[in-house]
Amino acid sequence: MEKLVSAIDQADETSLRDILDERLVSHGALGDVHGPDGFIEIMLENVRQGFPDAHVELITTIDEGDLASFRLDGSGTHLGPFLGVEPTGKTVRIRGIHHVRIRDGRITEHWQGPDILAMLVDMGLFPPTAEG
């Protein structure tokens, strides 16, 4: 998972294409995307448009057979539109839990669980509910 998170952090499309299977299905709150192009659009282009200085790092990984789960954490400055929200200039924490299936050394399925509510709170769209 280190290669995947590093490629996301560095916005490295070439490395992502080496890791992602052509038959990849990525499941998320906004629906499923297919293939490396769909994954790159969701995970890189959309995030980088909203947070051009985004940085994420791998926090925890759990592997079991052909499945792996990982938690990432990072931040970025909200300088472009994201999920229909115009730039606020605020620093936003980017974190989430992801789950992947790996076959023949490549990711064939991905489930994403970003903490969108926390991002919207950081953008000032909702009041914080607790410190921490």
The per-residue pLDDT for range 95-114, each reduced to its tens digit, is 999 999 999 999 999 999 99
In this prediction the pTM is 0.86
Q: Under a CB-based contact definition with an 8 Å cutoff, are residues 10 and 3 in contact? A: no
Residue 115, pLDDT above cutoff 60: yes
Report pLDDT for 130. Answer: 67
Dihedral in degrees, nearest 10, Cα atoms 4, 93, 63, 2: 30
Average pLDDT of the chain is 93
Residue 132, pLDDT above cutoff 70: no
**pLDDT tens per residue across span 55-97:** 999 999 999 999 999 999 999 999 999 989 999 999 999 999 9
CA pseudo-torsion sign 132, 117, 95, 123: negative
Measure the CA–CA gap between 35 and 60, rounded to whole angstroms. Answer: 25
The structure tokens listed for 88 are 């606020």
Report pLDDT for 131. Answer: 63
Query: CATH for 2-73+97-113?
Result: 3.10.450.50
Partners of residue 110 on adjacent β-strands: 26, 100
Partners of residue 60 on adjacent β-strands: 71
Q: Under a CB-based contact definition with an 8 Å cutoff, are residues 55 and 74 in contact? A: yes
